[in-house]
A and B are shown apart, each in its own frame.
Chain A
Amino acid sequence: MTTLLQIKDLRTFFYTPEGVVRAVDGISYDVKEGETVGIVGESGCGKSVSSLTMMRLIPQPPGKVLSGQVLFEGSDLLKVDEEEIRRIRGHKIAMVFQEPMTSLNPVLTLGDQLSEAMVLHLNMSKQAAWQRAAELLDMVGIPDAGRRVQDYPHQFSGGMRQRAMIAMALSCNPKLLIADEPTTAVDVTIQAQLLELIARLSKESKTAVIIITHNLGVVARYADWVNVMYAGRIIEAASARDVYGDPQHPYTVGLLLSVPRLDEPRKVKLLPIEGSPPDLVAPPPGCYFHPRCRFRVDVCFREYPPLELVANNHWSACWVAKEAPWKTAS
Chain B
Amino acid sequence: MEDRILVDIKGLKMYFPVTSGIVWQHKVADVKAVDGVSFFVRRGETLGLVGESGSGKTTTGRCILQLYRPTAGQVFFEGKDLCTMKSGELRHMRRKMQIIFQDPYSSLNPRMSCGAIVGEPIKIHKLAKTNTEYRDRVKELLETVGLNAYMADRYPHEFSGGQRQRIGVARALAGDPDFIVCDEPVSALDVSIQAQIINLLEELQAKFHLTYLFIAHDLAVVRHISNRVAVMYLGKLHEVADRDEIYARPLHPYTKALISAAPIPDPKVEATRERIILVGDIPSPLRPPPACNFHTRCPIAIQVCREKEPPLEQKATDHWVACWRA
Bound complex: CA A138 to CA B220 (Å): 33
Verify B282–A260 contact, CB threshold 8 A.
no
Verify A267–B224 contact, CB threshold 8 A.
yes
Verify A221–B267 contact, CB threshold 8 A.
yes
Residues of B within 8 A of A216 (CB): 191, 265
Residues of A within 8 A of B191 (CB): 42, 214-216, 255, 258-259
Residues of A within 8 A of B190 (CB): 42-43, 214, 276-277
Residues of B within 8 A of A266 (CB): 223-224
Name A272's contact: one of B195, B262, B266, B268 (CB within 8 Å): B195
Query: Interface of chain B, helix or strand or loop or mixed?
Result: helix
Give the A-B pair count, Cβ closer than 8 A.
147
Verify B258–A188 contact, CB threshold 8 A.
yes
Verify B263–A272 contact, CB threshold 8 A.
no
- Any A CB within 8 A of the CB of B149: no
Binary contact readout B190-216 vs A (1 if CB under 8 angstroms, 0 otherwise): 111111101100100000000000000
Binary contact readout B140-184 vs A (1 if CB under 8 angstroms, 0 otherwise): 000000000000000000001111000000000000000000001
Expressed in whole angstroms, the minimum distance between the Cβ of A179 and any Cβ of chain B is 15
- Any B CB within 8 A of the CB of A309: no
Choose the segment among A101-109, A169-177, A191-199, A294-302 that binds chain B (4+ C-beta atoms closer than 8 Å). A191-199
Expressed in whole angstroms, the minimum distance between the Cβ of A223 and any Cβ of chain B is 8
Residues of B within 8 A of A251 (CB): 192
Expressed in whole angstroms, the minimum distance between the Cβ of B91 and any Cβ of chain A is 33
Verify B224–A196 contact, CB threshold 8 A.
no
Bound complex: CA A191 to CA B257 (Å): 12
Verify A270–B217 contact, CB threshold 8 A.
no
Bound complex: CA A43 to CA B160 (Å): 12
Residues of B within 8 A of A328 (CB): none
Residues of A within 8 A of B109 (CB): none
Which residue of chain A is the closest to B203 with respect to CB atoms?
Answer: A269
A199-253: which have CB < 8 Å to B? 214-218, 220-221, 223, 240-241, 244-245, 251
Name B224's contact: one of A159, A255, A260, A274 (CB within 8 Å): A260
Name B262's contact: one of A160, A196, A262 (CB within 8 Å): A262
Expressed in whole angstroms, the minimum distance between the Cβ of A229 and any Cβ of chain B is 12
Expressed in whole angstroms, the minimum distance between the Cβ of A163 and any Cβ of chain B is 9
Verify A42–B192 contact, CB threshold 8 A.
yes
- Any A CB within 8 A of the CB of B270: yes
Residues of B within 8 A of A157 (CB): 281-282, 284
Binary contact readout B247-269 vs A (1 if CB under 8 angstroms, 0 otherwise): 10000000001110111111111
Verify A241–B268 contact, CB threshold 8 A.
yes
Expressed in whole angstroms, the minimum distance between the Cβ of A119 and any Cβ of chain B is 29
Expressed in whole angstroms, the minimum distance between the Cβ of A247 and any Cβ of chain B is 10
Bound complex: CA A298 to CA B208 (Å): 41
Bound complex: CA A148 to CA B220 (Å): 37
Residue of B184, B217, B219 contacting most chain A CB atoms (<10 Å): B217
- Any A CB within 8 A of the CB of B277: yes
Residues of A within 8 A of B198 (CB): 270
- Any A CB within 8 A of the CB of B188: yes
Bound complex: CA A157 to CA B270 (Å): 29
Verify B221–A272 contact, CB threshold 8 A.
no
Name B217's contact: one of A143, A185, A241, A272 (CB within 8 Å): A185
Q: For the side of the interface on B, what is the size category?
A: 35 or more
Residues of A within 8 A of B160 (CB): 276
- Any B CB within 8 A of the CB of A263: yes
Which residue of chain B is the closest to A254 with respect to CB atoms?
Answer: B192
Known A42-B190, A244-B266, A263-B269; judge A189-B278 contact (CB<8 A).
yes
- Any A CB within 8 A of the CB of B124: no
Known A266-B223, A273-B192, A276-B162; judge A259-B279 contact (CB<8 A).
no
Verify A196–B277 contact, CB threshold 8 A.
yes
Verify B53–A186 contact, CB threshold 8 A.
yes
Expressed in whole angstroms, the minimum distance between the Cβ of B46 and any Cβ of chain A is 13
- Any A CB within 8 A of the CB of B187: yes
Expressed in whole angstroms, the minimum distance between the Cβ of B270 and any Cβ of chain A is 4
Residues of A within 8 A of B52 (CB): 187-190
Verify A260–B258 contact, CB threshold 8 A.
no
Known A185-B53, A260-B220, A262-B220; judge A160-B281 contact (CB<8 A).
yes
Bound complex: CA A216 to CA B266 (Å): 9
- Any A CB within 8 A of the CB of B26: no
- Any B CB within 8 A of the CB of A322: no
Which residue of chain A is the closest to B159 with respect to CB atoms?
Answer: A276
Bound complex: CA A216 to CA B265 (Å): 6
Bound complex: CA A159 to CA B259 (Å): 20
Expressed in whole angstroms, the minimum distance between the Cβ of A165 and any Cβ of chain B is 14
Bound complex: CA A24 to CA B156 (Å): 27
Name A159's contact: one of B196, B264, B282 (CB within 8 Å): B282
List 14 interface pairs A-B (beta carbons < 8 Å), by A numbering: A42-B192, A157-B281, A187-B217, A187-B282, A192-B261, A217-B262, A220-B265, A220-B266, A220-B267, A220-B270, A266-B223, A272-B193, A272-B196, A274-B196
Given contact pairs A217-B262, A263-B269, a sample of 17 additional A-B residue pairs in the complex whose CB atoms are under 8 Å apart = A42-B192, A187-B217, A187-B282, A188-B219, A189-B52, A189-B277, A193-B279, A196-B275, A241-B268, A255-B191, A258-B195, A262-B219, A263-B264, A266-B224, A274-B196, A276-B193, A277-B192
Chain A residues engaging chain B, CB cutoff 8 angstroms: 42-43, 141, 143, 157, 159-160, 184-193, 196, 214-218, 220-221, 223, 240-241, 244-245, 251, 254-256, 258-263, 266-267, 269-274, 276-277, 292
